[in-house]
Amino acid sequence: MSEREVLELLRENARYSTADIARMTDLEEDEVAAVIDDLEAAGVVRGYQAVVDWDELETERVRAEVELNVRLDRETGYDDIAERLARFPEVKALRLVSGDYDFDMEVEGDSIREVSQFISEQVAPVPEITQTVTHYVMTSYKEHGIEFGDGEDDDRLSFSP
């Protein structure tokens, strides 16, 4: 139970200190630290990252969602193909999905040229991959549960009864 609670808080904000999490729950600080250690050791928590709104930065960042279709054979399964693709640092996310295509892949790079090259030179030539459809991200409205944009102004009065 405490595991779920700590996990929920970390997912809300991974920068909550163990002290803050302890204050918000019935746990002591060292208990919180132990729960987090366990979650990490068990591979439940795989990492912590910032949620970035690239539109707010001067430097360009190009992202694409790529649909991949593959053909399996006796020697090659989904896991084999996934393992090969996941190794590339350009690939930020890779999921096997149901529906019209097999893999859903997120790719990031510094320019459209770089991302295009990566897909045409590194991904498309993989023998099992039969088709790629690349969607460049134009605007991101929400990532990891966090809404982008200006946010809603708090228009409440500073004092009310």
Query: Does 65 engage in binding with other proteins (CB under 8 A)?
Result: no
Instruction: State both tokens at 95.
Output: 């999921």
Query: Does 161 engage in binding with other proteins (CB under 8 A)?
Result: yes
Distance CA 156, CA 1 (A): 36
Q: Cβ of 79: how many Cβ atoms within 10 Å?
A: 9
Query: Does 39 engage in binding with other proteins (CB under 8 A)?
Result: no
Query: Does 113 engage in binding with other proteins (CB under 8 A)?
Result: no
Name the DSSP class of 54: G
- Among 20, 31, 65, 104, interactor with other proteins by CB under 8 A: 20
- In angstroms, how far apart are the furthest CA atoms of the chain? 71
- Among 3, 11, 23, 80, interactor with other proteins by CB under 8 A: 23
Q: State which residue, 2 or 76, has the beta carbon closest to other proteins.
A: 2
Binding mask 139-158 for other proteins (x = CB under 8 A): -------------x-x-xxx
Q: Cβ of 143: how many Cβ atoms within 10 Å?
A: 12
CB of 39 to other proteins, least distance (A): 19
| Cα-based angle 23, 27, 33 (whole degrees, multiple of 5) | 95
